A and B are shown apart, each in its own frame.
Chain A
Amino acid sequence: MFKKGKAALALASTMALSSILYGCGSSSSDNGGSASKDEKVELNFIRWSNGPALDNEEKDKVKRFNDSHPNIQVKMTLLPWDETFKKIEMSLASNSPVDLFYWDVPAYAWYKKGLMKNLQPYFDRDLKMSDYDEKLFEPFKFDGSNMYVAPENYQTLVLYYNKDLFDKAGVAYPSENWNWNDYLEAAKKLTITKDGKTTQFGTTMSLGAWWGWMALSQEQGGALAPNIHDPEKLTFNTPETKNALQYLQDLIYKYHVAPDAAQSSALGGDFLTGKIAMYVGGDWDLGNLKDKKDLKWDLAPMPKWDDKRVVPYWVGGYAMTEKSKHPDQAWEFIKWTMTDNQETLAKQQSWIPVNKSALAKVETPAWAPAGYQTARFDWMKYGNIGDLYHLKWREAQDKAISPITDQIFANKISVDDALKKMDEQVNEIISKK
């Protein structure tokens, strides 16, 4: 019996050991050695998936590039967002990393480790910068003077509203001149309560994530730090950020015009099913809306704070790894997405193209409602990057910002206390090591 027990113990401990310590193994792909000029070069490219419709556009993009460039073969791997960064990281740790990847904020860590290629020499050589709004590219000069990401498209925030619900409540449609007070007043009139249960909400908590409430803070002139690259200290406890979070918390608990977490999960598709009258959200939601024939919706620019408007924008684009064996070919692909393909991108209307002349050539699509042009494109005048780049940013979000924000929107903590806590915890995290 003792023997049996011992063998079983060994087995059990091995089970425990191997699955914890080994569970996260992964390997990277190898794309072979370098090739001469005429040989066909294969480029490994990883990007994250945005669902079937947008993924098809990406696949089509890569196919068109490969067809028009017989010597270059881009091999794209689509992965879930989280998986993407894990996979690229593993490949960077190996000696033959992927050549290209689609940028997002966590990749800033790789820049800090010297693993991202400086693209400025290529920019200088091949691109006509007057075609682009260079000011909007500034955040991607990570070292202050060199571009490390090649922007392909922009994303921004717009105000979506359901015209039928506005008509029914007799409320005037949102205008360009709306501020957040107008928004709140309209939301009150658009909220319908029956037998103590709210059946229709004026708005929703679409700005509950940090980039949402920081957008409100930015409109008042607020900022987390004077510079968005490697700030040494972040300040959450400012009057602007406090106003922003208080405004959002009040939407739920003071004015009852927005659902709390439990209620919003119940509304399901909310805006799409006509249970939410309006919300401010990413223009990436247009993909779901453009085919929605039974919903009368329109767009307006994001409301002002008092009389000032600042709209956040984000950039989608490509980056190259420092150790890529085929940097020139990889640049060919990047250049093509920033030039030749921009008109197609503009026609597809899924993303806002960065190339001004391509944008100018393309007409408003048939499905677009009246407010489309202004709401989606006017932000460039007052756009402000909605990102922050710091090695520890993701950790700070996970460990401090998200949990504390959860508590604010569950009404478990006052905004004052929350921001004090956030200041303390986030700075402890970002100052470590």
Chain B
Amino acid sequence: MNTKKKWWTRSRREALDGYVFMSPAILGLLFFMLGPIAASAYFSFTEYDILSSPKWVGLDNYIELFHDSLFWQSLKVTLTYSVVSVPLNLVVSLLLALLLNKNIKGIFVFRTIFYLPAVMSGVAVALLWKWIFNPDFGLINWAIGLIGFEGPKWFIEENWALPPIIIMGLWGVGGSMLVYLAGLQGIPTDLYEAAEIDGANKRKQFRHITIPMLSPVIFFNLITGIIGALQVFTEGFIMTAGGPNNATLFSVLYLYRNAFDYLNMGYASALAWVLFLIILAFTLIVFKSSPMWVFYEGNRRSAK
């Protein structure tokens, strides 16, 4: 009894709770994902058309990737999209969260409204935005026309195909906004009170309290944002079919086409692994940088 009590400490119980909460994800990974993941690793070294059995080709698929101009094009498109859209989303969702963190009457209504788009189906939203960006009768160009300019040919000119997809990405900031909002509410108000007594103005409070206290949340949103952006697919698939002239050929779209349209499942698997390594690399870089700017409560390190 005595020994058991000692073994069953509070920290062990907390750990068990943690595992129980994680179990759906872990079980899902073990039973449904590990197999396909391993299979795709194997297929990436084969020539495989789904219909006949795979043929071992060693590194051929990977070598071919490096000579495939469309692979590089898709990487360029995906990276351009990510580099612009990730920071943009981070900033916009933070600003929205700050606004919605105000304690005014009926704020819940606004929170709901701003979150709502995030739960809508990607396909429906994509079609909706296609109309909004229609070069001739879309809402955006109509508005630009009102102030006397001619709007660009969204989706039709190669250079104007990616920007509307980036802009419409903002439609989905609700998710990260909500996470920011939770983070903002978790910041103890006494910190602000103390700062006020010390004579810090709003901007200084934001810079020295809000941002550091929020940094774990920013970190989380940055990581999920990068992963999500590098895997963007629906918009290119539904709205532009990768065009015009491959200006919106995202990597995952190219992967999908190889797998299901061109019967190159082996090549598609190799592409998936390369994409995974790229995502992993970015994630690692962000993680390595985190001690410099992420501040966890209870950690004695200063924000600087």
Report A's interface with B, CB cutoff 8 A. 1, 4-5, 8-9, 12-25, 85-86, 89-90, 92-93, 106, 109-110, 113, 115, 260-263, 265-266, 268, 391-392, 394-395, 398-399, 402-404, 406-407, 410, 412, 433
Contact = CB atoms under 8 A, between A and B. Distances in A.
B243 A403 contact: yes
Contacts of A18: 29, 33, 37
A21 B272 contact: yes
Contacts of B36: 21-22, 25
Nearest to A393: B262
A410 B161 CA distance: 14
Nearest to A14: B29
B179 interface: no
Given A17-B276, A22-B33, A262-B156, A403 B262 contact: no
B108 interface: no
Contacts of A392: 262
Give me the 6 closest cross-chain CB pairs, A-B, nearest first.
A266-B136, A395-B262, A16-B279, A403-B245, A113-B51, A262-B135
Contacts of B283: 9, 12-13, 16
B262 A394 contact: yes
B263 A109 contact: yes
Contacts of B293: none
Contacts of B260: 24, 85-86, 89
Interface stretch (B97-105, B113-121, B191-199, B223-231): B223-231
A122 to B, nearest CB: 24
Interface string B40-59: 10000001011110000000
Q: B70, B260, B276, B279: which has the most chain A beta carbons within 10 Å?
A: B260
Interface residues of B, number: 56
Nearest to B278: A16
Main secondary structure on B side of the interface with A:
helix
Contacts of A17: 33, 37, 276
A20 B136 contact: no
Contacts of B284: 9
Contacts, number: 130
A403 B257 CA distance: 15
A113 B52 contact: yes
Nearest to B38: A21
A25 B231 CA distance: 16
Interface of B: 25, 29, 32-33, 36-37, 40, 47, 49-52, 70, 134-137, 153, 156-158, 220, 223-224, 227, 230-231, 242-246, 252, 255-257, 259-263, 269, 272-273, 275-276, 279-280, 283-284, 287, 290-291, 296, 299, 301
Given A20-B276, A22-B36, A398 B261 contact: yes
B153 A115 contact: no
A8 B157 CA distance: 41
A144 B227 CA distance: 51
A4 B296 contact: yes
Contacts of B223: 8, 12
B299 A1 contact: yes
Nearest to A425: B69
Nearest to B64: A432
A36 B28 CA distance: 41
Contacts of B272: 20-21
B55 to A, nearest CB: 10
B280 A113 contact: no
Contacts of B153: 261-262
A5 B280 CA distance: 14
Contacts of B275: 20
A19 B230 CA distance: 11
